[in-house]
Amino acid sequence: MFGFITFNDKIHTQGGFLGNMRYLDFGTWIRQQFPFRVQKISIDAGFTCPNRDGKISSGGCTFCDNRTFSPSFCTKEKTITRQLEDGKAFFAHKYPDMKYLAYFQSFTNTYAKTDQLKQMYEEALAVDDVVGVVIGTRPDCMSNELLDYLEALSHQTFLIVEYGIESANNQTLLRINRGHTFECSRDTIERTHARGILTGGHIILGLPGEDQQESLRQAPIISSLPLDILKIHQLQIIRGTRLAREYARQPFHLYSVEEYIDLIISYVSLLRDDLVLERFVSQSPADLLIAPKWGLKNHEFTNLLNKRIRERTTR
């Protein structure tokens, strides 16, 4: 049913590990959800965050700069409809029959009144060939009123709500100015999952104060959450962030490619088999990235990961 990478069988380029190392990759999973190809289109709907606007803090998370993942067509000066149309034009050359998921990605995309949020999500769904919505947000910005609406919406269209967890260590969350606890993440993820909504989470490996041992300690905790989808990526130091200033004053360890591959293999082995893994790395623009400068595209990292597995297989 799935294309798996295994320690004992032939290695494929798609899928996940079997045996002690098994995962279902997002590409395989999403193809099973639709009878056609789908592509996410990122949207900047003009949101901010409660730890940026002073509600709970200011300055945002120490590592954050939204420019690292926002494509050129994604800008809050354009309407949601215009951003989606521009995104469709950008991707149309790949597959003319492509359909799209409107990805509310920048900042906290549930940080507004419910009526305003409804208008935004429904504007996106009204665009031709948009077949679903993905909403990125924080676990401290999800009311039961909004969950009522999203539960109903999930019966009408494809919907994923993904939460920035970042770490299961409250000391780390405090250090990076996250503005919420892990207990908050668990509670909100459980409330969302209980509504039957596809629920995603995002974590960062290598945050200040978290070594390999600490990350592996957290893996079973993250796996115990009722998540459907998990995104993982390495810590990156981005120019202009508070974390960049901290790193300049007192550098801390950042993973080399080889160290990170070993960590990913160990980390994934501690996750449950039915958890869909959407990614292992993030790729920031070279002019914004201070470190670590791996010089790898996402598929190149995956190739190195596969090579490491082959090496282990032949030992």
What is the average pLDDT value for the chain, to the nearest integer?
A: 88
* Non-local CB neighbours of 41 within 8 Å, separated by 6+ positions: 83, 84, 87, 88, 91, 100, 101, 102, 103, 130
258: number of Cβ within 10 Å: 10
Indicate whether 13 belongs to any domain: no
Indicate whether 302 belongs to any domain: yes
Q: How far is CA 139 from CA 35, 66, 103, in A?
A: 32, 18, 17
In the predicted model, is pLDDT for residue 183 greater than 90?
Answer: yes
Number of structural domains, the chain?
Answer: 1
| Closest to 59 measured CA to CA, from 181, 208, 175, 177 | 177
pLDDT for the residue numbered 25:
87
Q: What is the biggest distance separating any 2 CA atoms in the chain, rounded to whole angstroms?
A: 59
DSSP string, 246-273: HHHHS------HHHHHHHHHHHHTTS-T
Indicate whether 14 belongs to any domain: no
pLDDT for the residue numbered 14:
42
pLDDT for the residue numbered 289:
94
pLDDT in tens, 231-242: 999 999 999 999
pLDDT in tens, 253-286: 999 999 999 999 999 999 999 999 999 999 888 8
What is the CATH number for 266? 3.20.20.70
Residue 72 banded pLDDT, cuts 50, 70, 90: low
Indicate whether 193 belongs to any domain: yes
pLDDT in tens, 28-51: 999 999 999 999 999 999 999 988
Boundaries of domain holding 165 = 26-314
In the predicted model, is pLDDT for residue 55 greater than 60?
Answer: yes
* 242 and 290 Cβ atoms separated by less than 8 Å: no
Indicate whether 8 belongs to any domain: no
In the predicted model, is pLDDT for residue 298 greater than 90?
Answer: no
| Closest to 140 measured CA to CA, from 185, 197, 172 | 185
Indicate whether 279 belongs to any domain: yes
Q: Quote the CA–CA distance of 176 and 64 in Å, as a whole number.
A: 10
Indicate whether 1 belongs to any domain: no
Indicate whether 306 belongs to any domain: yes
**pTM score over 0.85:** yes
Across the range 137-165, mean pLDDT stands at 98
Q: In terms of pLDDT, which residue wins out, 72 or 25?
A: 25
Single-letter code of the amino acid located at 110: T
Across the range 134-155, mean pLDDT stands at 98
Across the range 291-304, mean pLDDT stands at 90
